[in-house]
A and B are shown apart, each in its own frame.
Chain A
Amino acid sequence: MKELKVTPIKNGTVIDHIESGRAFKILRIIGVIEEEVKSTVSVLMHVKSKSTGWKDIVKVEDRELLPSEVDKIALISSRVTINIIRNFNVEKKYRPTVPDQVIGLMKCSNPNCISNKEREPIESRFTVISKEPLRIKCYYCEREPSDIIKAII
C-alpha cells in the first residue's frame, strides 16, 4: 500500500532523492532557514527509496529555484532530482548537472587565496576537475577545497 506522509503540493518545487541526511544543507542553500518564508516547506528525512535505499525529500510550495541554487544543489548531490510542480502536475523533472566552472557560489577554503582578499574586484571561481567523484580546484590558488559542501556560500 502506498503511504503518503506528506500531501502533494499544488505549485512549487520538489527536490527528491537527496542523500539521506543532507536535506538541511539543501534548505540552507535555498534560503528557507534564513529567509522569511511565506509558504509551506516540508522536509522528509530518511525515507525508503526503491532505487537508492534511503533518501531525503524537500518540498517548497509556491517557489521555483534560481539557476544559482540549482548549481549549488548539483555540487551537494549528483543524484538529486528536481520536480517543478504546477497545478499538481509535474511540469518539469530534471537532474541538476555540475557546471564546468563554478563562479560566485563557493568561497575558497585557503585563507591566503587572493579570492578571499577584501576589496579586490574578484568573484570566487572554481574549475571542475572531475564530476564523478566531484573534484574542483580554485581557479586562482589551484587548491582543492577539503570540504566542498562547507565551501558553498
Chain B
Amino acid sequence: MDFKGRNIVSIKEFTTKDIEEILDVAEMMVPYAKGEMTSRLLDGHILATLFFEPSTRTNLSFRSAMMRLGGTVLGFSDTAGTSVQKGETLVDTIKMAEAYSDVIVLRHPQEGAARLAAEHSAKPVINAGDGAGQHPTQTLLDLFTIRREKKRISGLNIMLNGDLRYGRTVHSLCYALADFGVDLTFVAPPTLQIPNEIMTDLKEKKVNVSVHDTMEEAIGTADVLYVTRIQKERFPDPTEYAKVAGLYRVDVPLLAKAKKDMIVMHPLPRVSEIATEVDRTNHAVYFRQAFNGVPVRMALLALVLGADLRSMGGTTGGGGR
C-alpha cells in the first residue's frame, strides 16, 4: 500500500500485509539504525515530537530514527514552558507543529488525542501513545522483534503476563497477533485479566486462547513470553496494588521449565517482574526489543514521508553526518 501521507493512529487500521511491508522496510533499516551505514534519505525533512507526557524510550528512539536518516527534529518532551500550560488547545498546538514540520509524533495523556490531531493536520501524525488507548509503534516493534528472533510470527504460542486489563501495549499487540494466526496464553490475577470485549473479539477471530493464574502452568509450551509491568498508577487503592504487585517474577528457575529457545520480551521499564539474572540468559531479548524501536520508527518515518527507498544508498562504516 502507499503509506505516503498516511497517519499511524491505531494498529487496527493495518492489515497483516501492511504490517509485513513496514517490517520489511524496518529490516532494511537495521544497519543504519546501528550506525554501521549512514543515510541522507530524509535530508531536509523536519520531525516535530510533541510529548505531552514524558517517555524516555519512545521519544529518544523517534529522535534517533529521524537523525539516522539525515532529518532534523524539533519539539518538546514535556509541556512545562509551552503554550499548553497557558491553556492552548491540542488542535492549536497541532496546527503550529503542522506549520513548522513535515511529520508529527504525538504522545498525549488522553485517549483519542492522536485521532483528533490527525483530523486537523495535513502532515502525517504518528501516535506515540494516547493515554490508555493505542500505541501502534510499540506494537510494530514488538512484532518486528518476534519476527526477527523467531523467524516467523504465525503458528507461535505467545504467553502474555502482567497487567492484561489496563496495559495498552498488550491490547494492541493481541489484535495484531490475532491476524497472524498465533495461540495466545494469558497469565494474570483475575482482577487484571484480559478484558471480556477483547476476549470476545479474539474468539471471533478464531484465536486459540487459554487463561491461567500462574506462569508455571503454561510456560512449557510458550515460544514467546511477553511480560508487562503492573502499573501502580492504575490502582486508586494502594492495598489493591499491594495484593498483585510481586505476584509474578520471571527468574532462572522458572525459565528452566521453558523451551530452550523461548524468548522473554518486555516493553520496559521493568521493576521487579524480570530478575536481572535473566539478562544474561539466551531467553532475554528485551534490550534488543528496545533497540528495534529505532529501525521500526525509521521505516515509518520514511514511509509516511514518501521517501524513495530504492535510493537508500548510504555508505558503510560509521562516520555519520
Contact indicator B111/A114 (Cβ below 8 Å): yes
- Chain B: which residue is nearest A115 at the CB level? B112
Label chain A's interface by main secondary structure.
loop
Q: Which residues on B sit within 8 Å (CB–CB) of A142?
A: 10, 12, 111-112, 133-134
Q: Which residues on A sit within 8 Å (CB–CB) of B2?
A: none
Partner of A140, one of B87, B115, B197: B115
Q: Which residues on B sit within 8 Å (CB–CB) of A112?
A: 109-111, 131-132
Contact indicator A113/B197 (Cβ below 8 Å): no
Contact indicator A122/B116 (Cβ below 8 Å): yes
A138–B109 CA distance with the chains assembled, in angstroms? 17
Q: Which residues on A sit within 8 Å (CB–CB) of B87?
A: 119
Please give the distance in Å from A14's CB to the nearest CB on chain B: 38
Which chain B residues (175-203) contact chain A, with CB distance < 8 Å? 197
* Known A112-B131, A144-B197: A138·B89 in contact at CB below 8 Å: no
Kindly state whether residue A141 has any CB partner on chain B within 8 Å: yes
Q: Which residues on A sit within 8 Å (CB–CB) of B115?
A: 114, 139-140
- Contact code string B110-143 (vs A, CB < 8 Å = 1, else 0): 1111011000000000000011111000000000
- Contact code string B3-26 (vs A, CB < 8 Å = 1, else 0): 000000010100000000000000
Q: Which residues on A sit within 8 Å (CB–CB) of B108?
A: 114
Interface size class of A (residues with CB under 8 A): 10 to 19
Partner of B112, one of A119, A121, A140: A140
Q: Which residues on B sit within 8 Å (CB–CB) of A141?
A: 111-112, 130-131, 133
Please give the distance in Å from A127's CB to the nearest CB on chain B: 11
* Known A112-B131, A114-B116, A122-B116: A140·B89 in contact at CB below 8 Å: no
Name 12 interchain pairs, CB-CB below 8 A, sorted by A: A112-B109, A113-B110, A113-B111, A113-B112, A114-B108, A114-B111, A114-B113, A114-B115, A117-B110, A120-B91, A140-B111, A141-B131
Interface residues of B (CB under 8 A from A): 10, 12, 87, 89-91, 108-113, 115-116, 130-134, 197
**Besides the contacts A112-B131, A139-B112, what 11 more A-B pairs have beta carbons closer than 8 Å?**
A112-B132, A114-B108, A114-B113, A114-B115, A115-B116, A119-B89, A120-B91, A140-B112, A140-B116, A142-B133, A144-B197
